[in-house]
Amino acid sequence: MSKVHSAALEETLEVERVIDHLQGNQRGPTVVFFGGIHGNEPAGVFALKHVFEDIRQKKIPIQGEIYAITGNLGALQRSMRYQEEDLNRIWFPDRIESILGKNKVGHGEEDELKHLYSLLRDILDNGKPPFYFLDLHTTSSDSSPFMVMNDSLLNRKYASHYPLPVILGIEEYLHGALLSYINELGYVSLGFESGQHDDEKAIQNCVHFIQYSLGLTESVNLSKTEMKTLWDSISHSGSAPHKFYEIYHQHDIGPKNNFQMYPGYVNFQVVPKGKSLAIMDGVELKTTKKRQIFMPLYQKQGNEGFYFIKPIPKILLWMSKELRRFKVDHLLVRLPGVAWGSSQKDMLVVDQRVAKYFAKSVFHLLGYRARKMDASHLRVKSRESASKSQDYEQTAWFSS
């Protein structure tokens, strides 16, 4: 049990790992919401508590199962992003195996992961497909709400049913995230960023997102009018348009760097050439051309200072879909310096002498995101082969 405080509401809740769990009499999906993976982001916890209590009080029928789960209980108690290590950066298979094999965990976040992993395995082992995993977050800067996810066609198709900006490619820069781990298991998994940490609107945006998601996944039967009302509320919650965007640059902050973002920057803001963004170790960081900024850091904890993003043209989204559908990536292994990196054929190992002749966007079109393997090779990975699309084929959103 942990106490979670909302500065926006000036209220404190007592919550356990499972905030609530509702199971219906009829067959349906298994929908899992996470809140508070970062301890200074309580909006999702308060929103989940509100929505699930409302369902109970009104005795709203449920199809399948829905879960509301807290992330970092220790950090939530202290209103800190994390205690020792970012819980949303340690979900690597080998790290998980190491943590589970220890008699005594190293620190608080390892203990949190151990409990979350056990709960996740129990849900996957005993729940019924289709599975949905939705992670609720807020940002340190002022922001229009948006969705962020790993780039798989299954995730794209599901996310396209929300009137929100969608950010692709986060997995190429942000490693060890909970949702990346879940997405590699093949399930729909995405994050929702509802606004600034201490803004009351961020809680209300979360409430609308949860309610709309329950209707979209058919966990709760909502009328077309009710879905339209929620759609409108979500659509009007921010100024950023409903487009797909791609991250193409991340400014890293090392543990010894002194970083300070200049005030006034907000998500999706277009910044002209020559504008000062931040100062790090006494050096001013300026834009070298016009940029669109994303996730500027306005808190003490965090390793990513800011990102640059750009809209993805619809024609490229269509091309990407068709190229992946026909598995054009299988032709790449016929090139010298390119080989499969796994028996599942979801990873390529590319000699960097060859890779320099490929624009990164080519790999992105084919569903691959690059990570450096060593000094001479890149490892690029796709999530398409893992996607359990067949589990979702009978849903209304999949066929629409």
Question: Cα dihedral sign for 184, 245, 134, 74?
Answer: positive
Split at pLDDT 50, 70, 90, the class of 359 is: low
CA distances from 267 to 5, 150, 196 (A): 25, 19, 10
- 């409903």: which residue's tokens? 242
CB burial of residue 160 (10 Å; 0-12, 13-18, 19+) = middle
pLDDT at 242 over 80: yes
Q: What is the pLDDT of residues 36-90, one digit of tens each?
A: 999 999 999 999 999 999 999 999 999 999 999 999 999 999 999 999 999 999 9
| Over residues 200-214, mean pLDDT | 98
306 near 255, Cβ under 8 Å?
no
Q: Give the Cα separation of 277 and 300 in Å (integer).
A: 17
Q: Which amino acid does the sequence have at 51?
A: V
Q: What is the fold, at CATH topology level, of the domain defined by 2-242?
A: Aminopeptidase (3.40.630)
Question: Rg (Cα) of the chain, in Å, rounded?
Answer: 21
In the chain, which segments carry CATH 2.40.50?
A: 248-311
Q: What is the pLDDT of residues 140-156, one digit of tens each?
A: 988 999 999 999 999 99
pLDDT at 370 over 80: no
Q: Give the Cα separation of 193 and 44 in Å (integer).
A: 9
pLDDT at 162 over 70: yes
Q: Give the Cα separation of 356 and 34 in Å (integer).
A: 39
Q: Give the Cα separation of 384 and 327 in Å (integer).
A: 10
pLDDT at 204 over 90: yes
pLDDT at 372 over 70: no
- pLDDT of res. 350: 87
Nearest partner of 303 among 174, 121, 146, judged by Cα? 174
> How many other C-beta atoms are found inside a 10 Å radius of the C-beta of residue 96?
17
- pLDDT of res. 309: 95
What's the angle, vertex CA 271, arms to CA 268 and CA 277, rounded to 5?
A: 100
In the chain, which segments carry CATH 3.40.630.10?
A: 2-242
- The residues pairing with 174 across neighbouring beta strands, listed in sequence order, are none
- pLDDT of res. 106: 76
| Over residues 180-209, mean pLDDT | 96
Domain made up of 248-311: CATH architecture? Beta Barrel (2.40)
All residues at 6 or more sequence positions from 264 whose CB lies less than 8 Å from its CB, including other chains: none
Q: Which stretches does DSSP call E strand in the chain?
A: 2-6, 11-15, 18-23, 26-35, 63-70, 131-139, 146-149, 166-168, 188-196, 244-252, 259-261, 270-271, 276-280, 283-286, 291-294, 304-311, 338-340, 347-351, 368-372, 377-382
pLDDT at 357 over 80: no
CA dihedral 186, 188, 189, 191 (to 10 degrees): 150
Split at pLDDT 50, 70, 90, the class of 361 is: confident
- Which two structure tokens, joined as six digits, stand for 116? 């979350």
